[in-house]
A and B are shown apart, each in its own frame.
Chain A
Amino acid sequence: MPLIQMNLGEIAELGTQVAVHGAVRASEIGSDYLFDLIVAVAILIFESSPGG
């Protein structure tokens, strides 16, 4: 049975938008954390499909 996929534009968003962790600096939390987060996911994607 084929998947039924909705466009993200059809799906309501919350009134309260929540930015990603590290988007503001507070104490030792800052853009380094955001960078680490993105790199970790990028590594996972690369490891999942190294040739892709």
Chain B
Amino acid sequence: MPGVSPAIRAAILESRPSTRDAILRWRRGAEYRAAMAAFADCPPDDPGPATAQAERLLADDVWLGALLGPMLDAFAADPFFEPPFKPSRDALRTGAILFDCPAASISASVTSAAAMAAMAPPTSLIVSGRVQVMRTLGAGGARLRRWRAEPLTPGFSAASARRCEALGPRLLADGETHRCDGRVEAQLLEGAARDVVSVVATIRAGAAPLMREYAIADRRLLRVVSADDRASRTEMLLAFLRLSGRADAACQFEAVTRDPAFHLRWAAMREWLALDARAALPRLGEMAVEDPNAEVRAAAGLTLAAARRRVEEARCRG
């Protein structure tokens, strides 16, 4: 891979102050502040208000154009300008996150019609757990295939999950805005004759804790994935506490055994038992009886006898 020439390196460094100034001006601008204000008071547990705000913002051509305008102008003036947009890229899509706040994120993407035509058709679909509002700027003649899944409940179990249901396809139209409730719905683009350009608001408020992947062929559940980075980070950190021998962190383990996410509750108990079974035992007994998820109750019940035996053996050894 060729190195960066001194001239290019100098140009990159030279553009940094103007990049920083442009980004500061943009964040202080009316359009960015309008988005911050729109989502500022949205409750964290109800997607309705944030969804309504996203639909209002994305339907506003003037707002969207004015939001992107300063960034496009900065690009035109300086090829080394670095916009503050986190990019994402895969075989089909190129996109960037334009706006991000605790309640929602707004991203823009271009889906390649040529890549779509060249790729094998997808074999699975994702029920993402989050409500999305999609503004189609260029429909490209594409359709949306759509599915509906059962709602996630506290007693969810992969073994008893019902198949998702195929819904009728929807033809995209230039300029339209539509909502996909990713807590129970999934959609996939297909049949694009030209590239599809869209802006999507993803609502974090009221999101389901899990994503579900289903096979398109038979609509059976294939895989369950955490939809919450906080839950996955917590799992890793509890493992780190165990490996570090931090038995003094009992209150942290205990608190996570009461988390709304059933898999996280059990992950916390597993780590706690592996660190300090004596301290974890009373809470394990409670979970075997009163945890709202049947799989957690069953796992706690199965483990309880072994944990009691280990504690009793230690007491006898004395």
Q: Interface residues, chain A, CB within 8 Å of chain B?
A: 1-8, 10-30, 32-33, 37-38, 40-41, 44-45, 48
Contact between A27 and B225, CB atoms less than 8 A apart: no
* With A6-B306, A20-B225: A37-B236 Cβ-Cβ less than 8 Å: yes
Contact between B229 and A21, CB atoms less than 8 A apart: yes
B90 interface hit (Cβ, 8 Å): yes
* With A10-B303, A11-B270, A28-B107: A22-B229 Cβ-Cβ less than 8 Å: yes
- Assembled-state Cα–Cα distance A40/B105 (Å): 21
Number of interface residues of B (CB under 8 A): 61
Contact between B225 and A21, CB atoms less than 8 A apart: yes
Q: Interface residues, chain B, CB within 8 Å of chain A?
A: 86, 88, 90, 95, 97, 105, 107, 126, 128, 130, 132, 156-159, 182, 200, 202, 210-211, 213, 223-229, 231-233, 235-237, 240, 244-245, 247, 262-263, 266, 269-270, 273-278, 295-296, 298-300, 302-303, 306-307, 310-311, 314
- Assembled-state Cα–Cα distance A41/B125 (Å): 30
* With A4-B276, A5-B274, A27-B200: A21-B227 Cβ-Cβ less than 8 Å: yes
Contact between B274 and A11, CB atoms less than 8 A apart: yes
Which A residues are CB-close (under 8 A) to B274?
5-8, 11
Determine the main DSSP class of A at the interface with B: loop
Q: Which residue of B lies closest to A48 (CB)?
A: B244
* With A21-B226, A25-B90: A6-B236 Cβ-Cβ less than 8 Å: no
- Assembled-state Cα–Cα distance A38/B213 (Å): 23
Which B residues are CB-close (under 8 A) to A7?
274
Contact between B295 and A24, CB atoms less than 8 A apart: no
**B88 in complex: contacting residue of A4, A24, A28, A40, CB < 8 Å:** A28
- Assembled-state Cα–Cα distance A36/B89 (Å): 16
Which A residues are CB-close (under 8 A) to B128?
26-27, 29
List 18 A–B pairs whose Cβ atoms lie within 8 Å, in order of A's numbering. Answer: A2-B314, A4-B314, A8-B270, A12-B299, A13-B270, A14-B266, A14-B296, A16-B156, A20-B225, A20-B232, A21-B226, A22-B229, A23-B223, A24-B225, A27-B128, A27-B130, A32-B88, A38-B236
9 shortest interchain CB distances as A-B pairs = A21-B232, A18-B263, A12-B299, A16-B158, A12-B302, A26-B128, A26-B126, A19-B225, A21-B226
Smallest beta-carbon distance B45→chain A, Å: 19
- Assembled-state Cα–Cα distance A15/B293 (Å): 11
Contact between B237 and A15, CB atoms less than 8 A apart: no
Contact between A24 and B126, CB atoms less than 8 A apart: yes
Q: Which residue of B lies closest to A36 (CB)?
A: B229
Q: A16-B156, A20-B225, A26-B128 are in contact. List 14 more A-B contacts (CB 8 A).
A: A3-B245, A4-B278, A5-B274, A5-B276, A6-B274, A12-B299, A12-B302, A18-B225, A21-B228, A24-B213, A27-B200, A28-B107, A37-B236, A48-B244
Which A residues are CB-close (under 8 A) to B226?
18-21, 23
Smallest beta-carbon distance B111→chain A, Å: 12
Contact between B224 and A18, CB atoms less than 8 A apart: yes
Contact between A41 and B270, CB atoms less than 8 A apart: no
